[in-house]
Structure 1
């Protein structure tokens, strides 16, 4: 069976509510503008996942789904307090729903493409894990052939060396890892401008332009 028929793709995201998302964009953006950018990034991410062959498409959501959610996604609630707990729980819940490889991304890389996601899915046919590094020292994608909470729990998140520490955890577990190209997460206004330039046809770029940035 081909990897595209066995791997799930999951987005972990927050409901784009003003004051709860993209708070590092304020200032220069208002809380409402930051939420609009978050929703646009989420729409782009959902669109890329929708266009990628997968056994199942999931959204691990903190909050409630809105009109931005397209058909074809199963929604599961996030569990846990810290980010490492929420990531580990999302992998476990996805695997419980449908045992098999799981590819996970966040809502912060609207420039992600079906080609990159397809590479991640295919890599899990040959490797134990797939990893997408982010320019801020974290990671934008993590895929596991067989999810295990021990691979994530206790890894410091939102830290300059998060990515290195996560890779070390995978290496110490003896996993073979396929590394994807580095992408920029949207955390700051400078990040937003960079990412919009990389994805000029995206909802994100259009929203940033509408906000006059």
Structure 2
């Protein structure tokens, strides 16, 4: 699968992710899923995300990874290790990998992501972009000037139902114009996984993995 041509004004697209190793990823899916099954779903979600980003316009595509790349990584990506510290520190460090020009960071928890959702970033004149998550967090965060990310991300408490509101308030208080991306649901629990699988694009690996696991139970 070939990525779209790089065009002027396209952002650097960052995917921050964890290697899908049983017992280290998607632990809130267990139970009802086993650690091995949770890792299968995590790998499928990550792979769908990587391929969606690969089809979106970008100057660079960077996988910011905790772990080691596997066969699930398609060509077309730079790979960089995650920084140390909490998630706020690691997100800030990911933006430090960027050159001048817009940059957008997404996670591995939204396999329903499509290239069209990313198309506006870098082309609509905003200073920042924010994609809220249904659980109160966020699935996407971007800056026209990535160098500003550190001061605006560090210190935000992550993984709470107020994380998104606090992060967005940081952007507003800094006087940034914000491009709002659609609200998406993260895959954290089994209920999330079922809901997300139902709205994934055709040929979704995540939806196929969910269907395969459901079939194995029968």
SS at match of 2:80: strand
SS at match of 1:28: coil
Distance 2:179 2:201 in 1: 28
Give the match for residue 4 of structure 2. none
Distance 2:195 2:13 in 1: 25
Give the match for residue 64 of structure 1. 68
Give the match for residue 10 of structure 1. 14
Distance 1:72 1:185 in 2: 25
Give the match for residue 145 of structure 2. 146
* 2:122–2:144 contact (8 Å) kept in structure 1: no
Distance 1:18 1:186 in 2: 16
- Show CA shifts across 1:119-176 (max 9, x none): 23433xx010000000000001001111220010000100111000001101111111
- Show CA shifts across 1:39-64 (max 9, x none): 00000000001101100000000000
RMSD (Å) for aligned C-alpha atoms: 1.2
Distance 1:121 1:212 in 2: 40
Aligned runs of 1:1-213 on 2, under 5 Å?
2-4=8-10, 7-93=11-97, 95=98, 98-123=99-124, 126-147=125-146, 148=148, 149-199=150-200, 201=202, 202-212=204-214
Distance 2:61 2:52 in 1: 11
SS at match of 2:105: strand
- Show CA shifts across 1:29-84 (max 9, x none): 00000000000000000000110110000000000000000001000000022000
Distance 1:200 1:132 in 2: 19
Output the TM-score relative to the length of structure 1.
0.94
Distance 2:118 2:208 in 1: 23
Distance 2:168 2:130 in 1: 8
Size of the aligned set, in residue pairs, is 206
Structure 2 stretches lacking a partner, 5+ long: 1-6
Distance 1:9 1:178 in 2: 16
